[in-house]
Homo-oligomer: A and B are copies of this chain.
Amino acid sequence: MATIKDVAKLAGVSISTVSLTLNQHPNVSPETRKKVWKAARELQYQPNGIAKDLKSVRTKTVGLVLSDLSGPFYSELIRGIQEVTTANGYDLVAMSAIGGSGSPARYIREKRTDGMIILAHDIDSHLISQAGREKFPIMVLDRKLESDHVFSVTVDNRKGAYEAGEHLIRSGYRKIAYLAGPNDSTDNAERFAGFKEAMESHGLEVTPKWYIQGGFTKQGGYRAVKLLAAQHILPEAFFAGNDEMAMGAMEALTELGIRVPADVAVVGFDDIELAAYMRPPLTTVRQPMFDMGYTAATLLFRLLDGDRSVRSVVLDTELIVRESCGSK
């Protein structure tokens, strides 16, 4: 790999002249300019980005940490973020927090980017809080967190879940099971709280036997239903903490010959793209993923600009009634 030094030598000028030329600085004579370009081309010179970053402190990059890069519903989120980052002339690099979250944690600590957007519950809040600095703002999307340089963009999970729960209740269902996400997930906690609230405000009770762990995965939802079916206790409806579990649940139900929504209703949470294509189409709570991404990125840049008025944001969800809840 040719360095700036090689170019300087070949062109017969000094390193600084090369740098000036290549960076479009005006104070370079046309002749030298030509010599330098020629040498650079011959050597196929490409500036070393790492060295550049080391010097300039700014990497012109924002990082995005996802708990699993291959997740289904990040598309819109990423689009929202990207819209803003490219508009600001920044790059976006994404990495996943898979496998003990070792690597992104390192990335965060080592600050290879100018800022971070995090949506990965397996990254420690403590780590995040102390990683945020004046020149390294962080936006979190999966929990509420706020310190000097860390803010959150979240969704009103509680309210969303309340609405969905109430819709189910109003439709006549009373024995409703909750398919839960991981216990360390704030999203899950809030959604459950909202659901519970809806139940209680209608004089209904949420019994522990109907709080079933599904780990936010399709498999988990599938297993949960099979487990219940094996015990011959099935609720009238399932409230899934996310769409993936709802999908798994519906699959299991179908296999068991139980019709949705005729026999059992199902609602989900997230409104992933697939939701509209399930059979029957899934009633769910829509998270404005694009808006979240857009908002998070916008705030991040304001933070980068030293704007002290930035505050955390909570966005609203929207209940999307389709067919799986039997009320349409």
A interface residues, Cβ below 8 angstroms from B: 1, 44, 46-54, 59, 69-72, 74-79, 82, 86, 91-96, 98-99, 103-104, 106-107, 109-112, 130, 133, 135, 273-274, 277-279
Contact = CB atoms under 8 A, between A and B. Distances in A.
Contacts of A99: 82, 86
Q: How many copies does the complex hold?
A: 2
A57 to B, nearest CB: 9
Contact of A94 (B51, B69, B109): B69
A312 B48 CA distance: 29
Given A46-B109, A69-B82, A92-B95, 16 more contacts: A1-B135, A44-B130, A46-B110, A46-B111, A47-B110, A48-B111, A49-B106, A50-B53, A69-B92, A70-B78, A82-B99, A86-B99, A91-B107, A93-B93, A94-B95, A279-B279
Nearest 4 Cβ contacts at the A-B interface: A49-B110, A70-B75, A277-B277, A91-B103
A82 B111 contact: no
B1 A111 contact: yes
A130 B82 CA distance: 28
Contacts of A279: 277, 279
A95 to B, nearest CB: 5
Which of A70, A75, A94, A106 has most B Cβ within 10 Å? A70
Contacts of A54: 48, 50-51, 54
Contact of A72 (B135, B273, B278): B273
B82 A71 contact: no
Given A46-B109, A109-B46, A110-B47, A72 B75 contact: yes
A98 B103 CA distance: 25
A48 B274 contact: no
A91 B95 contact: yes
Nearest to A51: B54
Contacts of A47: 110
A27 B170 CA distance: 71
Nearest to A59: B50
B91 A48 contact: no
Contacts of A135: 1
